[in-house]
Amino acid sequence: MKQVTALHLMACPVDTGLTTEVAGDVGNIYNDGSVLVPTTGAIWAPEPNDGELWDMRVEFDRKHGITVGQRLILPVIVMNQGVSGHDFGSYVCGNHPCGHHA
């Protein structure tokens, strides 16, 4: 797992209700294979060696038509454009744990 920012959440993943331990904390598993730790706000993305979580990511991306290129470049584009809101269209989740979207 690698720690990422909310800009890396694409197509609004949904909490599966399952949990796992990551970096010594318990986090909620989302249906894109990412793990969000409620106590710290940390967001973790699966990597190829993360087994089932990686498989979830691959299937999620396939289902939503998300390419590797989009996963790599979209957060960089958004950061470089100085976007301050959280509404990035259909690719980035507008309902992440920042609390701005209750």
Q: Over the stretch 61-70, which tens digit does the pLDDT of each residue have? A: 999 999 988 8
CA neighbor of 60 nearest in space, from 14, 96, 4, 18 = 14
Condensed to tens digits (0 to 9), the pLDDT of residues 3-24 reads 998 878 888 999 999 999 999 9
Token pair in block for residue 36: 């969000």
What's the alpha-carbon Rg for the chain, to the nearest Å? 13
Q: Which residues lie below 8 Å from residue 33, measured CB to CB, with a gap of 6+?
A: 45, 46, 50, 52, 53, 54, 55, 56, 57, 60
pTM of the model: 0.72
Average pLDDT over residues 69-83: 68
| Backbone φ and ψ of 15, nearest 5° | -60, 130
The ranges assigned to domains in the chain are 2-80
